[in-house]
Copies of this chain bind each other. A is one copy, B any other.
Amino acid sequence: MARRNLDSYPRPGVTVDLAVLTVTDAGTDDAALRVLVQERTDPDGRVLPGRFLRERHTVVDTVQEVFEHKVGVSPSEVTPPRLLRLFDAPDRDDRTWAISVAHSVSMPEAELEGAKGDLVAVSSDGVLADRGPMLWDHEEIVSAAVESLRERYEFRYRNDSPPPDPDGFLPEPFTLHQLRKVHEAVIGEELHKDNFARRMKPQLTPVMRGGEVVKSAAHRGRPATLYRRVTSPDSQPVNTLG
């Protein structure tokens, strides 16, 4: 059998669609998990930012391009994109044969300053809080992204506590109270402050200056100790799941 040229076979368009996650007001009691949603026309509706994979570009390249052309920000610091799943139904795009490689990206709120689109709150059951529908399968992508994120923030069991804010939503240094509020915003449920402190402390180091422990500026009560992560924020290789 003669070998046909590899390039002559029909090939799918490959899109990279992003669930950009952040925690707004991460330092405060109003911390909230949100996802970046954009409006588009033809067809009209709300979508996640995304883009076709261009020649010999990687997923990481394409994520950068999405930020540059669709979101309008140049992130200096991002958690590496995480592969969520593949959408490959042959008829999911009626214009052409296209498969979607859905990823999630976590960013601190400050890096999303001026981004195009809205930061929509995520409800406790993992979907958009304002219940507005999204086009195509994009709502599924949000659910998958939130589920994956929560697994990373959830309190597991005895042997391994969760890393403190593994996706780095909260800038250092921070108090245990602030850290707890971020975790609560992500997983959507309250945590006991004492148990939380006991589990996190082994993974935190107090900020020292001049041989003294640095405390937070006191508003009302006793000032809290400021901490840094002793394990740096998650640095998972690209395209793998945890």
A219 within 8 A of B: no
With a cutoff of 8 Å between Cβ atoms, the chain B residues found around residue A148 in the complex are 241
What does DSSP make chain A's interface, helix, strand, loop or mixed?
Answer: loop
The reply to whether the CB of A73 lies closer than 8 angstroms to some CB of chain B is no
Interchain CB contact (< 8 A) of A86 among B13, B159, B239: B239
Query: Cβ of A241 and Cβ of B59 under 8 Å apart?
Result: no
Query: Cβ of A2 < 8 Å from any Cβ of B?
Result: no
Q: Flag whether A53 is at the interface (Cβ < 8 A).
A: yes
A199 to chain B, nearest CB (A): 14
Which chain B residues lie closer than 8 Å to A239 at the CB level? Answer: 85-88
A80 CB to nearest B CB, Å: 12
Q: What B residues does A14 contact at CB under 8 A?
A: 11-12, 14, 99
Q: A52 contacts which chain B residues (CB < 8 A)?
A: 6, 9
In the complex, the chain B residue whose C-beta lies closest to that of A5 is B96
Asked if A7 lies at the interface with its beta carbon under 8 angstroms from chain B, I say yes
A58 partner, pick from B6, B11, B88, B241, beta carbons under 8 A: B88
A58 CB contacts on chain B under 8 angstroms: 88-90
Which positions in A face B, CB cutoff 8 Å? 6-7, 9-14, 52-59, 83-90, 95-99, 101, 144, 148, 156-159, 239-241
